[in-house]
Structure 1
Amino acid sequence: MADHSADRGYLLDNQQSQAGIRFDALSELFDPVTFRHIDELGLAAGMRCWEVGAGGPSVPLGLAQRVGPTGTVVATDIDVSWTRGIADGVIEVLRHDVAAEPPPAGGFDLVHARLVLVHVTDRAQALRRMIQALRPGGRLLLEDADPGLQPLLCPDESGPEQELANRLRSGFRTLMAARGADLAYGRTLPRLLREAGLADVRADAYFPVTSPACAVLEDATVRQIRHQLVAAGLATDEEIDRHLANVSSGRLDLATAPMVSAWGRRG
């Protein structure tokens, strides 16, 4: 999940110290789902892939393992600081804005974006560019959150700790919406792919209800946005400190927003 609206002040800055922690937690939570879909789509040796808004190394590296030395993985993002530590020559990394710039040269057998378009102001243009980049028969896999489908951090709101958690999550959504995020975007993906002319469109959704990685993700996210929450009058420092202590206690069942995965084939 990467900075795709820098002009509007992206809420979760990739350069902040918690960003790497967030990326690792997101990978633990969602990589198995992403690669289940990718493997079902038939990604194989020699194919050419474009990972849009990579944000972290785990998905590009997993794609590279699947396409092998005869294939190609192009990973793009506005902020490519995440590329540190990736072996030279395994992945072609490009600084790129999917909504403002033409796609990388050459057609692709697979184009994938996870937790990207919800943050892009011109989502329709970004989607057009990704479809434009597909070879005939190529597959597009989009995965994006839909906080509106399940807005609670603690679906089982059984006490004051859970109520506070849900109130702070509501504040987070308020900040995201103010920066142009579409909090009901995930559910629209199947329709958008069909309307764009893709065939064999399918979709599903996944969200963990409780996981240690959810707690890690919540802690890092709140630490990143605490100043914005306080400045906007959405929470006090005392409330945030209390919530972080509740998260670290391990007694909260923390969920994520559903991640909708939708895929289709270019004819």
Structure 2
Amino acid sequence: MATENGYLLDNRQREAGRRFEAFAELFDPWTLGRLDRLGPLTGLRCWDVGAGGPSLPAALAARVGPTGQVLVTDLDTTWLTGLTDTSADAAPVTVLRHDVVRDQPPGDGFDLVHARLVLVHLPERAQVLRTLAAAVRPGGWLVIEDADPALQPLACPDERGPAEELANRIRRGFRALLAERGVDLAFGRTLPALLRTAGLSEVAAEAYFPVTSPACRELEAATVRQLREQLTAGGLATAAEIDQHLTNLSEQELDVTTAPLITCWGRRAPQG
């Protein structure tokens, strides 16, 4: 996530690539499973908003096939290189630098609009959601996935000892930094009401909560390395504490989790 809009996590840093890989391992199967259950994706025109990394757009392109289209947008498209080189069996992919807060929606409507872990970071999140909903064609779907750290705020729900206690203290520092940047730590749970207010029907939502995995530890380590200066400058953790936490993540089987991911979907009523 680029800092242009005040985002805490900068896509241009080296650790961003590791975070995107961990996100893909953790969340892509969940996201794609939900998209598949909406109905056949073949031939759809899709907009993936704030994609960050390439894995999900590439999977979408394969699903919609050569008769479909995939538009991928982000403030920083650094990690999206190579996406336009699709095979003959995949949809053509267009990568566009786009500010979802300030810019008009690209194109003339989409069968599927998807955004994952984007809106929660935007002070204008409700306005942006309405904009995304308006970009959905009749009969199409809007799928928004966002975190709800307040629903489960711990890094280690099973706080067995000093390593887990330290992980949870550093996670509290991370949440404090997010809150300072205007992140709504309880945003995920509000999505169903927001989608209905935006005029969508058939609204439903689910939550995904990985309790522990190597990808959870990798995501935690990459995030902490990326935020090291902010955590120490804000007095939220010492350099020694951060070093110990990173050592614990690499040398111990810490049961580290992420905030619950709320996936919410709604449909624009078909015409006629």
Question: Which residue among 47, 63, 66 is the counterpart of 2:60?
Answer: 63
* Matching residue within 132, 138, 141 for 1:139: 141
Deviation at 1:43, TM superposition (A): 3.9
Distance 1:210 1:250 in 2: 12
Distance of 2:44 and 2:248 partners within structure 1: 46
Alpha-carbon offset, residue 7 of structure 1: 3.7
* CA deviation after TM superposition for structure 1 residue 246, in Å: 0.6
Correspondence for 1:225: 227
Partners of 1:113 and 1:77 lie apart in 2 by: 10
RMSD: 1.1
The answer on whether the counterparts of 1:203 and 1:263 sit within 8 Å (CA) in structure 2 is: yes
Counterpart CA distance in 1 for 2:83 and 2:45 is 18
Instruction: Give the TM-score taking structure 1 as reference length.
Output: 0.96
SS at match of 2:207: strand
| Partner SS, residue 8 of structure 2 | coil
Aligned pair in 2 of structure 1 residues 250, 165: CA closer, same or farther (>3 Å)? same
CA contact (8 A) 1:43 1:110 kept: no
2:194 pairs with 1:196: no
**Residue aligning to 1:38:** 35
> In structure 1, what is the equivalent of residue 132 of structure 2?
130
Q: How does 1:86-165 map to 2 (within 5 A)?
A: 86-88=83-85, 90-165=92-167
C-alpha distance in 1, partners of 2:108/2:84?
A: 23
User: CA offsets, 1:68-106, max 9 Å, x none?
Assistant: 111000001110111223243631111111111111112
CA drift of 1:196 comes to 1.4
Change (3 A) 1:162 1:214: same
Moved more, 192-201 or 18-27: 192-201
**Count of aligned residue pairs for this structure pair:** 264
1:26 aligned residue (23, 32, 40) = 23
Query: 1-side partners of 2:248 and 2:80: how far apart?
Result: 34
- Name the SS of the counterpart of 2:14 in structure 1: coil
Stretches (4+) displaced over 4 A: none
Percent of aligned pairs with the same amino acid: 62
Instruction: Report the alpha carbon displacement of residue 56 of structure 1 after superposing the two structures with TM.
Output: 0.6
Q: Which residue, out of 8, 16, 24, partners 2:13?
A: 16
For structure 1, the residue ranges without an aligned partner over 5 or more in a row are none
Deviation at 1:121? 1.8
SS at match of 2:204: strand
Question: Retained in 2: the 8 A contact 1:21–1:220?
Answer: yes
Q: After superposition, give the CA deviation of every residue in 1:192-212 in whole Å (9 maximum; x if it has no partner).
A: 111112100000101111100
Query: Structure 2 stretches of 5 or more lacking a match?
Result: 87-91
The residue type paired with residue 71 of structure 1 is G
Q: Secondary structure at the match of 2:245?
A: helix
